[in-house]
Amino acid sequence: MAHRTSFRESVEKMFNHAAGLMDLSPGLEEKIRVCNSTYTVRFGVRLRGQIHTFTGYRSVHSEHMEPVKGGIRYSLDVNQDEVEALAALMTYKCALVEVPFGGSKGGLCIDPRAWNEDELERITRRFTYELSRRNLISPSQNVPAPDMGTGEREMAWMADAYKRLHPDDINAKACVTGKPKTAGGIDGRVEATGRGVQYALREFFRHDDVMKRANLEGTLSGKRVIVQGLGNVGYHAAQFLSAEDKCLVTCVIERDGAILNPQGINIDALRGHIRATGGVKGFAGGDYHENGLAMLEQECDILIPAAVESVINSDNADRIKTKLIIEAANGPVTADADAILRSKGIVIIPDMYANAGGVTVSYFEWVKNLSQISLGRLERRHEEARARMLVEELERLSADTGLNWTLSKGFKEGFLTGADELELVRSGLDDTMRESFMKMKEVWMNNARVDDMRTAAYVVSIRRISNVYNSLGL
């Protein structure tokens, strides 16, 4: 059987391709590429009357900025190669969207569905202890976040376990992000990655020249979308795109098969069905197909892989019939598939940009924890008071001059309401996605040797990392 490029090989190939187009000083390319360290921890937890041994990893790809940052994944497929590839992507992602972190990633080989909540809590707390002993969780050194199989609940357990181990650390809460609001989280973090996917697509559709490269025109409204994986990232992306941008989500692919409906699937109803039954089968709002993977090959305008890596590979790339792929998951397209898709004229918005919403809002949460105050708390009412002064002055002038203008109710309400935490988070995320897109676009459009957005993203990111190394004198 022909060798299929692994996730890690794909990341290295893509990195090497971009680095080869740049004039990096000798040895710097390798320094940026290699993963600095990976710890494997094995620990036992007594559960169900016996000791169970679990294997976990935490990889630190680059410490050119600290703390290093990256999610923790719970899955039986977790392995060292995967964790290292994900850590490398975190380094490049953070540099691309200008969040001041190095890259890291962690994982625990576990099927989270095989354990009850109490058991998962004990396992997570024990894993946190192992990480803390090695400085692999700390507000100043290494800050995990949720990833596949983990969420707010696990982050709250980790934060609490860390706090118990470090009761005198006033910044203890900042040891992880993606926590629930009651445990030091920030509004808008749960949906941040899906929201970032939506903002990335909105930005893409603002540029006629990039749309043309994907043979797309018009707006997002009415575009046919296929989503693979209706978890945290996929659900929020699908929900926002259908409810707010009027996209038609014509197919959702999950572990147990796919649901198709050319009129558009009701995402909230499908999510409810998955929660109730554990899968998409039996959902009344569309046709069920058992072979989910084959449904990636259905015709659509935008394909959103939001589940696992390497799902689009040299076996199926030739049969993919979309115009645009936005990589909500990390590494869903292998390097071989990437070349095939490009030759077919399919444009790919790369993972390191497309799913950067999560780490961006994690950054806001970390800053909030360190500053010990919620975003907007100091300025919100002041902002409202100044807006009110302006409105009252306009109304007075209008009455005094006999013009008798009346400001519409909607305008007045909007203008007189100061931004709360959620609005500030969305504003910061939108700004990040738009600015980073412009940087990638500039390199993509103005450099004849850069013929795709992924290479452009790598070039922007590698340039920034090399600038840091050069200024450090390394």
Residues of this chain that interact with ligand NAD (CB under 6 A) are 146-149, 193, 228-234, 253-255, 292, 306-308, 328-330, 355, 358
Give dist(CA 63, CA 102) in Å, integer: 5
Looking at the annotation, which residues are catalytic? 105
Say if residues 359 and 147 touch (Cβ distance below 8 Å). Answer: no
Nearer to ligand NAD, 188 or 358 (CB): 358
Residue 43 pairs in a beta bridge with 54
Tokens at 85, concatenated: 């590839």
Tokens at 360, concatenated: 């961006």
Q: Within a 10 A sphere around the Cβ of 285, how many other Cβ atoms?
A: 15
Task: Give the shortest CB-291-to-ligand NAD separation in angstroms.
Answer: 11
**Residue number of the CB atom closest to ligand NAD:** 231
Nearer to ligand NAD, 60 or 145 (CB): 145
Task: Give the shortest CB-207-to-ligand NAD separation in angstroms.
Answer: 24
Residue in the block written with tokens 């014509």: 250
Nearer to ligand NAD, 332 or 376 (CB): 332
Nearer to ligand NAD, 239 or 466 (CB): 239
Nearer to ligand NAD, 210 or 253 (CB): 253
Task: Give the shortest CB-42-to-ligand NAD separation in angstroms.
Answer: 23
Q: Cite the DSSP H helix spans in 21-116.
A: 28-33, 80-96
Nearer to ligand NAD, 306 or 325 (CB): 306
3-state secondary structure of 423: helix
List the one residue out of 280, 194, 300, 196 whose CA is nearest residue 238. Answer: 194
Task: Give the shortest CB-331-to-ligand NAD separation in angstroms.
Answer: 7
Going from the C-alpha of 362 to that of each of 151, 199, 330, 429, 470, the distances in angstroms are: 13, 17, 17, 10, 27
Nearer to ligand NAD, 363 or 380 (CB): 363
Task: Give the shortest CB-303-to-ligand NAD separation in angstroms.
Answer: 13
What's phi and psi for 29, nearest 5 deg?
A: -55, -45
Task: Give the shortest CB-190-to-ligand NAD separation in angstroms.
Answer: 8
Give dist(CA 416, CA 142) in Å, integer: 40
- Give the strands of the sheet with 50-60, arranged side by side: 37-47, 50-60, 102-109, 68-75, 142-146
3-state secondary structure of 188: coil
Task: Give the shortest CB-94-to-ligand NAD separation in angstroms.
Answer: 12
Task: Give the shortest CB-362-to-ligand NAD separation in angstroms.
Answer: 8
Nearer to ligand NAD, 139 or 146 (CB): 146
3-state secondary structure of 434: helix
How long a stretch of residues is the chain?
A: 474
Contacts of 432 (CB under 8 A, 6+ apart): 97, 98, 99, 356, 357, 360
Give dist(CA 129, CA 110) in Å, integer: 17
List the one residue out of 200, 144, 178 whose CA is nearest residue 436. Answer: 200
CA–centroid distance for 463 within its chain: 22
Tokens at 386, concatenated: 């100044």
Strand 347-349 and strand 324-326: the pairing is parallel
